[in-house]
């Protein structure tokens, strides 16, 4: 799922292209994309774009007369900028036509999770913000207060949109590796020093990757938005060497996601139980990276 760095670069690219432009047409390839009925999309056609904002992992296109289009890309949704009149194509869900080009929303795979909301009034945006703290605008103490407000594993807390804005599975792996913290350590057991390290790692990782993606896109529209990048330290790197210590990166698999970590750098050599494989192996499951 595109996270804060990816969404920020999307927003900047959109602002350069559609700010001040009127929406000439909105074409939906499937009615299930649109999750609202009021205001109707027809009311938004002809309105000029006055801004583009990030709402956590969502994108809000701000229009005249206090109207908004909110895009939630979910896991496989992506945005593309095409010549005016271009069609969405086989994977396309929607086209937003402007005088200078067409913004196309696509989604890979067969599961239709991406969504579009038409919103009237800024108060209507509140359900889309989820209330998460914007870490890059926060102090260390504000970060600590939010982190300790609920007792969860640190991985779950970082990725909870009610607690922190814009952080998902990919960058939380990178943050925790940089902070040298176990993804399953409980937030209530974090020391003040560990929280400081985590705050520093969070801000540094988000800023670094935003700048990296910004540089990669340049003046072009970002087309290589992915959760798996070769420059990442651990995310998506199961079995590959940790760039710090050379130990093979490990994983915990669950549902459609997995957590990647370095046992040597983050868990004092302990292997975390993989819910599927460790249950299968039972007593044969290795307890440490050295056993493995």
Question: Residue 96 has what pLDDT?
Answer: 96
CATH of the domain at 69: 3.20.190.10
- Residue 47 in any domain: the answer is yes
Whether 147 and 273 share a structural domain: yes
291: in domain: no
* The pLDDT of residue 253: 86
Q: Which residue, of 88, 108, 129, is where some domain finishes?
A: 129
Rg value, the chain, Cα: 21
The predicted model scores a pTM of 0.92
| Number of independent structural domains in the chain | 2
Out of 67, 99, 129, a domain closes at 129
Mean pLDDT of the chain: 91
Whether residue 153 sits in one domain with residue 95: no
Report pLDDT for 287.
62
pLDDT value at residue 259: 94
pLDDT at 112: 82
> Would you say residue 120 lies in a domain?
yes
Q: What stretches in the chain show pLDDT beneath 50? A: 277-285
Residue 289 in any domain: the answer is: no
Are residues 292 and 269 in contact, defined by beta-carbon separation less than 8 angstroms?
Answer: no
**Which pLDDT tens digit goes with each residue over 75-116?**
999 999 998 777 666 678 999 999 999 999 999 877 788 999
Cα–Cα dist 148/146, whole Å: 5
pLDDT of residue 207: 98
Residue 154 and residue 85 share a domain: no
Q: Give 84-90 contacts, CB < 8 A, sequence gap 24+.
A: 88/27, 88/29
| Residue 39, C-beta contacts closer than 8 angstroms, at least 6 positions apart | 67, 118, 119, 120
184 in the same domain as 57: no
- The per-residue pLDDT for 285 is 45
Residues 120 and 52 in one domain: yes
> For residue 29, which of 77, 66, 98, 62 has the smallest C-alpha distance?
77
Q: Is 187 exposed, middle or buried (0-12, 13-18, 19+ CB in 10 A)?
A: buried
Beta partners for residue 69, in sequence order = 61, 118
Given this model, what pLDDT does residue 89 score? 67
Q: What is the pLDDT of residue 280?
A: 42
Q: Whose CA is closest to 244, among 178, 291, 196, 198?
A: 178
* Structural domain containing residue 229: 135-284
Which residues does 238 contact at the CB level (< 8 Å), separation at least 6? Answer: 249, 250, 251, 258, 260
Q: Are residues 216 and 165 in the same domain?
A: yes
Q: Is residue 272 part of a domain?
A: yes
């Amino acid at each position: 799922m595109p996270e804060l760095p990816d969404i920020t670069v999307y927003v900047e690219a959109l602002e350069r292209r559609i700010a001040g432009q009127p929406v000439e047409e909105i074409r939906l390839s499937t009615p299930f994309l649109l999750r609202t009925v009021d205001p109707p999309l027809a009311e938004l056609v002809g309105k000029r774009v006055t801004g583009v904002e990030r709402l956590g992992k969502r994108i809000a296109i701000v229009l005249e007369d206090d109207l908004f289009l909110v895009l939630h890309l979910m896991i496989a949704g992506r945005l593309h900028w095409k010549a005016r009149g271009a069609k969405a194509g086989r994977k396309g869900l929607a086209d937003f036509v402007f005088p200078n080009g067409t913004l196309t929303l696509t989604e890979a795979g067969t599961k239709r999770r991406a969504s579009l909301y038409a919103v009237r009034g800024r108060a209507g945006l509140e359900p889309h913000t989820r209330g998460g703290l914007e870490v890059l605008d926060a102090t260390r103490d504000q970060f600590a207060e939010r982190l300790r407000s609920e007792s969860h594993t640190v991985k779950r807390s970082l990725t909870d949109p009610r607690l922190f804005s814009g952080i998902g599975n990919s960058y939380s792996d990178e943050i925790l590796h940089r902070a040298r913290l176990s993804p399953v350590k409980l937030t209530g057991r974090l020391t003040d020093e560990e929280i400081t390290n985590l705050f520093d790692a969070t801000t540094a990782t988000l800023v670094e990757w935003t700048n990296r993606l910004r540089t990669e896109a340049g003046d072009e529209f970002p087309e290589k938005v992915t959760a798996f990048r070769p420059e990442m330290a651990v995310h998506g790197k199961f079995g590959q060497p940790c760039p710090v210590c050379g130990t093979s990166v490990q994983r915990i698999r669950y549902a459609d996601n997995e957590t990647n970590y370095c046992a040597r750098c983050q868990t004092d050599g302990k292997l975390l139980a993989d819910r599927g494989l460790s249950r299968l192996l039972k007593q044969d499951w290795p307890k440490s990276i050295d056993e493995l």
